[in-house]
Amino acid sequence: MAVNLRHQVRQLYKNLMFLGREYPKGQDYFRQRCKAAFIKHKDETDPEVIKMLIARGDYVIKELEALYMLRKYRTLKKRYYPS
């Protein structure tokens, strides 16, 4: 694996761990699932496949950010607009 791809994979893992702190099912659940996904693909050596997996990880990051933004929006809505 090229040094640049290795750096991107490590950065992706760090970002996912950081975002997983606020996961609705808990940080431990998220950490176990994320670690299992990375271990599943640890022996991958094809750069194109690695880039595809990095792209999938970036998509997961965007989905997590959207989930957190929606949760904040719902909280604010409940606070200021009672049902």
Ranges of each domain in the chain: 5-40+47-80
pLDDT one-digit tens code per residue, 26-48:
999 999 999 999 999 999 999 99
What is d(CA 32, CA 49) in angstroms, rounded to the nearest whole number? 23
pLDDT one-digit tens code per residue, 49-71:
999 999 999 999 999 999 999 99
What is d(CA 9, CA 7) in angstroms, rounded to the nearest whole number? 5
Q: Does position 16 have pLDDT exceeding 80, yes or no? A: yes
SS3 at position 45: coil
Going by C-beta distance under 8 Å and a sequence separation of 6 or more, which residues neighbour residue 29?
23
Q: Are 37 and 20 in contact (CB under 8 A)?
A: no
Classify residue 74 as exposed, middle or buried by CB count within 10 Å of its CB (0-12, 13-18, 19+): exposed
pLDDT range class, residue 2, cuts 50, 70, 90: confident
Q: Give the model's pLDDT for residue 1.
A: 58
For the chain, helix (H) and strand (E) counts, in that order, are 3, 0
Q: Does position 82 have pLDDT exceeding 90, yes or no? A: no
